[in-house]
Each structure stands twice: as C-alpha cells, then as structure tokens.
Amino acid sequence: MSVKLIAVDMDGTFLDDVKQYNRPRFLAQYARMKEQGIRFAVASGNQYYQLYSFFPEIAQEIAFVADNGAWVVCEGDDMFNGEFTVQQYNTVVDHLLTLPDIEIIACGKQWGYILKSYHPSFKLLAARYYHRLKEVDSFTGIDDVFFKFALNLPDDILAETMIALGESLEGIVVPVTSGHGSIDLIIPGLHKANGLRIVQERWGIEDHEVVTFGDGGNDIEMLTQAGYGFAMQNAPENIRALARYQAGHNNHQAVLDVIDKVLNREAPFN
C-alpha cells in the first residue's frame, strides 16, 4: 500500500521539547519524499505564521492545517477559513471571563489576542506559540476572523473544566486538550482531520494513503482517520490506545525515524 501524504503535529510530536527539529535530516527526507510523490502537511493547533516559520524553505509546496483545522493553506493558497459569528464569539468570551484561573488567547486570522492585564509570565508563554500576538484592553470589538480560543489553566482543574465548558458552550465550541497543559475551544467539526480532508481532496489522496503523527487530544480525529496513525511514546495513554501504530519519543526524532521507514518501504509500509 503506497503512502502519498505525511502529516505531523508539531509540539510534542515533530518538535522536541525545546521547539526544534533536525532540519538537515528532514530536508534530505523531504527531497526523497518529492522523488517518491509523497506530500507533506503540518497539522497543528498553532498559528499559521508560527508554523510557516519552521518551514520557510518549502512553505510554498506543503500544506498547513493551522489552528486545529480552522485555517487551511495549501501550496501558498488560502483554501479554508472557519469563523465564529460575532454572537458566538461574544457568548464564548462572556462565559470565559466569568471563570477564575483561566487565561485566554482569542485566536484570529491576523493576530492572537491577549489582555494587557495578564501576568507577564503568561505573555511570555503565549509568545512561544503565537508569532503574531497583540495585547488588548478588552476582547470585545476586535475586527478579525476568529478561529478558536486557547486557554491556559492549572493542570489540576483541566479535566473538570473540559467537561464544564463542553456543557456550557455546547453547539458553539468543542473543548480539546492541546498537549501542553491547556485547552483549545474549536469550532464543531473543524478539527485537524477535516483540514486534512480538504488538503487530500486537492491532492487526490485517500485516507488509507495517509500517515499522521500526534500526541494530544486535538490529534485524535486525524490519528484515527489516517491509514497509518502514529501516537508518540510521550502521548497520554488514552491517545496511544486509540492509535493503530506507535512512534518513539518526540525528543528522539521519532517522527523522522518513521519517515525513513516510509521512504525505505519498511514495515508497516512494505
């Protein structure tokens, strides 16, 4: 069975814990991928601008499924934008602002927005994931297209908050864990697998021809949709249990190890 698309999550998967990857090794692999007709996609909860910065050499050739699937850019073409209505956006913001211990990033197409009043440590954390970050006095009245909300909160209330938000905002957002102690509130149905489906239609690629890698709750759909879904060794047990295949640790270039197997047509790709 041939592989025609490799799609990777970034944090905790393709990137190591200091947000780096072995660029020379991957670019050599990518050259071989092109020779074999294999496409490459980045599928992440992160902002498009940040994802682009990791692949400047090949950004016009690959696909970006950004903001958990709400924004899809393929070969430089802006293909798809999900969007909250103004009413939905305001409903979510009004509810979130009533919750203590939660810091919010409102994720727009132009910027990620955070409040000026937030603690400097959170602003530094947010800047690691959002290359375009703007501080605002209020979340209301911002002129942008909004894709999702990213929430920062203590680990010990994460599970109960996920459930409560799912109930309070049912039909407007779906809460998913994003792999680094935080929650993303996404537009229902606009997950990474949906974004990859858009890319696959453009490139004429079937699900059974796709290899995906992930480590978090926001990767579940693409891990189960793909013919070859690989959960990382560092992923939570429930994510590993859902995936058909297992990869090694994100700090040990495990994704690149599997890509070598794809290119060399080793098991399970032979």
Catalytic residues: 9
Cα–Cα distance, 37 to 59 (Å, whole number): 17
Q: Which residue has the tokens 């682009």?
A: 52
DSSP reduced 3-state for 135:
strand
Phi, psi of 112, rounded to the nearest 5 degrees:
-95, 135
Phi, psi for 190 (deg, rounded to 5): -95, 65
Helices (H), the chain: 23-35, 48-54, 86-96, 120-129, 158-168, 192-203, 220-225, 237-242, 254-263
Cβ 118 vs Cβ 136: under 8 Å: no
Among 2, 14, 3, residue whose Cα is nearest residue 219 = 14
Answer whether 101's CB lies under 8 Å from 153's CB: yes
Residue that is written with structure tokens 């080793």 in the block? 266
Q: Whose CA is closest to 70, among 216, 225, 195?
A: 195
Residue 100: asked if its preceding bond is cis (omega within 30°), the reply is no
